[in-house]
């Protein structure tokens, strides 16, 4: 009987820890820019990241017939912040262009400083861009 209770307790503990690991907040900041209308939307889905980094400025232009976006991010903390970011491009129908070629890149933002990330569309059919920023880790 004691052995059964210990076994059930171990199973319950394992299930509880597994559930908590599955609840890690991987969402981040998303900046969507429509290059046709000029509208920009900033969504901050991660409360921890929201308190550490902010979007200061969004600029866009064209280079050799391809859309280009410049997004300035700033650290609101005094310590170094390491984030991952990815810029995706979409056509007029909302379909992502060249989704397999775009991976997350690592960016270090020093305390109370700003960095500008830049992305260039891979196709002239691109009409909007979406920057995704997610937290990697924070270090001193």
Q: What is the β-pairing status of strands 105-109 and 66-75?
A: unpaired
Q: What is the pLDDT of residues 4-25, one digit of tens each?
A: 655 545 544 454 444 444 444 4
Task: Provide mean pLDDT across the span 82-98.
Answer: 94
Q: Work out the mean pLDDT of the chain and round it to a whole number.
A: 83
How far apart (Å, rounded) are the C-alpha atoms in residues 73 and 128?
19
Q: What is the pLDDT of residues 62-76, one digit of tens each?
A: 999 999 999 999 999
Number of neighbouring beta carbons within 10 Å of residue 50 = 14
Give the residue, 87 or 137, on which the prediction is more confident: 87
How far apart (Å, rounded) are the C-alpha atoms in residues 46 and 91?
27
Q: Domain ranges in the chain?
A: 25-138
Q: Which residue has tokens 């908590």?
A: 20
Residues 6+ apart with CB under 8 A from 48: 25, 135
Number of neighbouring beta carbons within 10 Å of residue 135 = 19
Cβ atoms of 107 and 84 closer than 8 Å: yes
Topology of 25-138 in CATH?
A: Immunoglobulin-like (2.60.40)
């Amino acid at each position: 009987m004691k052995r059964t209770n210990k076994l059930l307790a171990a199973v319950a503990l394992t299930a509880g820890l597994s559930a908590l690991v599955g609840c890690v907040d991987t969402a981040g900041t998303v900046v969507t820019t429509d290059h046709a209308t000029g509208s920009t939307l900033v969504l901050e889905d991660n409360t921890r990241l929201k308190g550490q980094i902010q979007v200061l400025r969004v600029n866009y232009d064209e280079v050799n017939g391809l859309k280009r976006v410049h997004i300035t991010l700033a650290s609101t903390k005094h310590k170094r912040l390491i984030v991952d970011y990815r810029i995706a491009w979409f056509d007029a129908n909302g379909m992502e262009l060249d989704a397999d070629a775009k991976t997350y890149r690592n960016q270090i933002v020093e305390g109370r400083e700003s960095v500008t990330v830049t992305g260039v569309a891979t196709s002239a059919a691109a009409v909007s861009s979406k920057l995704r920023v997610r937290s990697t880790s924070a270090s001193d």
